Amino acid sequence: MRIVAGQFKGRPLAAPKGANTRPTSDKARQALFNVLEHAAWAPPLDGARIVDLFAGSGALGFEAMSRGGAFALFVETDARARGAIRDNIEIFQLFGNTRLHRRSATDLGEKPAKLGKPFNLVFLDPPYGKDLAPPALKGLIEGGWVTEDALAVLEVAADEAVPDLPGWSPVDERIWGAAKVVFLNRD
């Protein structure tokens, strides 16, 4: 697994060992970011404030940072995944531009002031079939984590129905292999 484009293009990403995480493939990540870079409804990646929920290796957040993101917060509960994210932060020397939270993405609470302004780009790649996206997206709004014009990128299984997501409206949907990616704007 490698960074597909931008400042860190071609550099490998550390990923946790085992079956607990399912990193987005390089090909799907390239396709996803092509959509983000060309869609009129997507925020610019340059200067984006990113929150990567259910981060796993952090591949989506690191790809966004490689393409000009200003700051990324990685939220992950799995110890091995957090270790991989720490390794990636070190590999890319992103110490001042990243943070790692060991916290449930479905129970974030209020955004701490020390994290700065709200985030305008959200990546969510929860475990498939567990209906974790609705509480995570609801918590982002209720806790003041996201801007009024934030975009969320949700990955679910290709055959999974997208649940009702109050406060968010789908603007596009793509299927790449086993994954369905839904792009959501704030209502």
Q: What DSSP letter does each residue of 112-126 carry, written as one string?
A: PGGG-SPEEEEEE-P
| The CATH number of domain 26-186 is 1.20.1560.10 | no
pTM for the structure as a whole: 0.94
* pLDDT per position as a tens digit, 117-156: 999 999 999 999 899 999 999 999 999 999 999 999 999 9
By the 8 A CB rule, do 147 and 119 touch? yes
Average pLDDT over residues 147-172: 94
* pLDDT per position as a tens digit, 117-126: 999 999 999 9
By the 8 A CB rule, do 51 and 84 touch? no
* pLDDT exceeds 60 at position 169: yes
Spans of all domains in the chain: 26-186
Encode 127-136: b = buried (16+ Cβ within 10 Å), e = exposed. Answer: ebeeebbbbb
Note the pLDDT of residue 27.
Answer: 83
By the 8 A CB rule, do 85 and 58 touch? yes
Note the pLDDT of residue 21.
Answer: 59
Stretch among 13-17, 34-38, 74-78, 81-85 having the lowest mean pLDDT:
13-17
